[in-house]
Amino acid sequence: MARIHLSLVPICSLLLVACATQPPAPVEDRSPVEQARASEPEPEAARGLQVFPLRNPAVDELITAAEQAERDGDLDRAAMLLERAIRIEPRDPELLQNMAEVRLAQGDWEQAEANASRSFDVGPRVGELCQRNWRTMALARERTGRHEEAHRARERMQDCRVEPPPRF
């Protein structure tokens, strides 16, 4: 019986040593912060060229309701309302970006990146919306551990800033 207890000592020691290694950094739920970071315009973004689409009034109502749901903290309702709006206007880049930001807040990194990428593909590729697209993609890639791709996405944000033509 004493031999069994003595043989357990090295095993227990190994287990304790394995547990003594530094734990991974805790992952905080930074979703609202990340969403805010994604939707904030760059300080100088308003100076550059901006492109705004014409919008269906029904879509405007759905967006307003989705924004209210977001402010109330009901991200599921906000996503549902945005999905309805996207069914009406499936190629609206701002709608797609709004959905990407809601998905980012929900922690659905893959969908956030997919919606932001699709928004960029159908969008103007300049201005604040373009920057929001790349910022969202960078945050989603960062959260999935693709840090090099996130860095490249942040670099692409600079390409979104285009100065308007001079006025005479």
The CATH number given to whatever domain includes residue 150 is 1.25.40.10
The domain of 155 spans 29-40+57-160
| pLDDT at position 89 over 50 | yes
Residue 148 lies in a domain: yes
| Residue 139 tokens, joined | 């945050």
Domain count, the chain: 1
Tell me what pLDDT residue 144 has. Answer: 96
Judge whether 140 and 121 are in contact, CB under 8 Å: no
Residue 97 lies in a domain: yes
Burial class from Cβ neighbours inside 10 Å (0-12, 13-18, 19+) for residue 52 reads exposed
Overall average pLDDT of the 113-121 stretch: 98
| Residue 29 tokens, joined | 């739920």
Residue 48 lies in a domain: no
Top-confidence residue, 115 or 28: 115
Top-confidence residue, 42 or 100: 100
Tell me what pLDDT residue 163 has. Answer: 82
Judge whether 108 and 31 are in contact, CB under 8 Å: no
Tell me what pLDDT residue 145 has. Answer: 97
**Number of other residues whose CB lies within 10 A of the CB of residue 40:** 13
Overall average pLDDT of the 100-122 stretch: 97
Q: Is the dihedral of CA 33, 105, 162, 146 positive or negative?
A: positive
Residue 72 lies in a domain: yes
Q: What global pTM score does this model have?
A: 0.69
